[in-house]
Structure 1
């Protein structure tokens, strides 16, 4: 067990995100912008498909580590419920999603949006298999592959925390802000595990530091890239982080990752922001936030209480 993370305590206390007391009946009384709905749909898809990342991770030497697998057993479960929390919020706010436009309510059976989730996974096509094989091959070639994966996971979890915090700052819906704060509590624990594992593995191997730095600089992309269309990833990043405050937040992410052995001076988040802004200038965000644009992206506003 790493000294920086109490795995025993985490496993004993792991559970679905606590949604007791959430004012679901008040969601429709507050606005949900088109930008929020589009971004939250993207976030929901990421959380729901954590299992795809876990599948690749378990195809590597990570599967031999009882601490990693114990964490992942809880992590996948918690991330699933994050996705379901976002799914219900969107349903209560009057949004349905392609392909079947399921109306999600408190009475909906779990898992929700099965048709959507199956379509997303099938749309990945051959990349589902090639990604799996690459993970297996990389792990076979070097014992340090798990260090790369733990660093990758730390970056993704830290990015998720900051994305939810940025959403809280932008949202006028108090119920959404409440749900996001609850989810962030889980994400902080997830980040703490990945960071502790990455720090331990990077500290003990110069080769691990070199490989991880190379992989993160050349291969890492914001979480959700590849799972969903590039436009959705860019939209979320530009809407959440495209202004000066967003740049400051990206730099704080980089400063935190730079504390890992071998990552001094890394600018992963800032570089990702720059690439997204090159593909999608902020001036495009309003046109992509209209009800018509949302519908073309498979996000349908069924009620009209809130303006886009």
Structure 2
């Protein structure tokens, strides 16, 4: 058997699925935002992050038409990962609603992925086969690095007590997700030159964070400028983590995304 088919050890997917984090609504204390609201800039970032979290399903649809879907362990992880992200998006939506006039409705516009793009991706990815799993695991790890950093910066800039408590919970959930993505990415990249080459090409083509294509360029620019404009060292640190992935050195993904 190809070594790249062997799952990375050290992560109990069954336990992950059994203990998946669902709805956060009971812990949100939305009334506290009436007396202590977050800033307008924070609301704009939260709206962006809600869309990013919701974009998971569009991303997953493209992933699960590839060889990645043939690995039952990874499919089980990704299904649970999407479930947890759905409820994070729901929690953010509730926070946004708590800052709006009574009866206001949030944006529920659907994500549209052109059918022909999904078909092209499926054909290409299934020709490539197993090395595509490394691509998807590396994408997951890289996306977790940037989104976790963004959540941390958000509560640094707006240390609202209730928002901080909620985001801290999000980060605990995301850290567990990252353990799987990073271990899988390193394991598979180390064992396949083809995976390293393909992953390098594909990472360079992604609009970070994953889901940014569902946003306006102005909103993505605001996301990076508000959270990272004066944090060049943090961007360099994040790019250093990408550099540490086998065969992915020197991509400068976050420096380019932040236009620094």
Is TM (by shorter chain) over 0.5? Answer: yes
Q: Structure 1: 5+ residue runs without aligned partners?
A: 103-112, 278-308
Shift of 1:17: 5.4
Shift of 1:220: 4.5
Asked if residue 45 in structure 1 is aligned to residue 31 in structure 2, the reply is: no
Match in the other structure for 1:215: 202
CA distance in 1: counterparts of 2:178 and 2:116, whole angstroms: 27
Match in the other structure for 1:302: none
CA distance in 2: counterparts of 1:8 and 1:232, whole angstroms: 37
Q: Deviations over 1:52-83 (max 9, x none)?
A: 11111111111111011100121111111001
Could you say what the CA RMSD is over the residues aligned between the two structures, in angstroms? 2.0
Equivalences for 1:51-62 in 2 at 5 Å? 51-62=57-68
**TM-score normalised by structure 2 residue count:** 0.89
CA distance in 1: counterparts of 2:163 and 2:193, whole angstroms: 44
Q: Detail structure 1 runs of 4+ shifted over 6 Å in the superposition.
A: none
Match in the other structure for 2:254: 269
Secondary structure of residue in 2 paired with 1:31:
coil
Q: How many correspondences in the alignment?
A: 253
**TM-score normalised by structure 1 residue count:** 0.76
CA distance in 1: counterparts of 2:250 and 2:9, whole angstroms: 25
Contact 2:52 2:212 in 1 (8 A): no
CA distance in 2: counterparts of 1:175 and 1:152, whole angstroms: 31
Equivalences for 1:103-142 in 2 at 5 Å? 113=106, 116-117=107-108, 119-121=109-111, 124=112, 127-142=113-128
Q: Deviations over 1:2-57 (max 9, x none)?
A: 22433233122113155654432211212322111111001111112311111111
CA distance in 2: counterparts of 1:154 and 1:95, whole angstroms: 38
In the superposition, relative to structure 1, how do residues 181 and 202 fare at CA in structure 2: closer, same or farther (>3 Å)?
A: same
1:251 alignment partner, one of 236, 241, 253: 236
Q: Deviations over 1:241-300 (max 9, x none)?
A: 111xx22221221122222111233321112111xx6xxxxxxxxxxxxxxxxxxxxxxx
Shift of 1:95: 6.0
CA distance in 2: counterparts of 1:4 and 1:17, whole angstroms: 27
CA distance in 2: counterparts of 1:189 and 1:11, whole angstroms: 12
Contact 1:138 1:145 in 2 (8 A): no
2:182 alignment partner, one of 191, 195, 213: 195
Match in the other structure for 1:227: 214
Q: Structure 2: 5+ residue runs without aligned partners?
A: 1-6
Asked if residue 169 in structure 1 is aligned to residue 169 in structure 2, the reply is: no
CA distance in 1: counterparts of 2:153 and 2:170, whole angstroms: 13
Contact 2:55 2:211 in 1 (8 A): no
Asked if residue 155 in structure 1 is aligned to residue 146 in structure 2, the reply is: no
